[in-house]
Amino acid sequence: NNEIIQGLTKLRIEKLKETDNQLKEKIDFLFNNLQLVAENKPPLVTFSKTMHFFLPNLFMPIDRKFTLPFFYRKAPFNPKNHVPFSKDHQSQIQIFCDIFEQFRQFANKHRSSLETQINPNSRWNRNIPKIIDNIIIAYVINNTIK
């Protein structure tokens, strides 16, 4: 796992023109081989946050409170409604890849404006994946039924 992770350190989500098969294979390999949660638990959230920690310029954190509702529920968001998604392993990796692709496209399209917001001294805007995550959090908060 270390060799694959080290091999991805120079990649930045905003510079990826596409998610090629080689990157997809590496994501799939890590998703299937990093043993981050108990076997019967869904790995999506833990995997995304771990990968964001290791490779913050490439991977985005995904959470159940903001990211999943943003992509899988219509606004206005109702905190009482749970995001329905399958917990089986193959569905989890597909959700990760779908969200990754949406982040990649947004980062690529808005690269110049996102780069101006990077602040290594900030707790919140240290890299583009986290800036996009912050945009999603703000959007969900502002569009949640109180």
Write the CA distances from 124 to 18, 54, 89, 130, 137, integer angstroms. 26, 17, 30, 7, 12
> Which residues have a Cβ under 8 Å from the Cβ of 114 and sit 6 or more positions away?
14, 107, 128, 131, 132
Task: Report the pLDDT averaged over residues 97-112.
Answer: 96
Q: Which residue type does 111 have?
A: R
Q: What is the pLDDT of residue 89?
A: 85
Work out the pLDDT band at 136, boundaries 50, 70, 90: very high
pLDDT tens per residue, range 27-45? 999 999 998 888 878 899 9
Q: Is the pLDDT of residue 61 over 90?
A: yes
- Residue-averaged pLDDT of the chain: 93
Q: What is the pTM of this model?
A: 0.92
| CA separation, residue 123 to residues 28, 54, 126, 129, 131 (Å) | 30, 16, 7, 13, 11
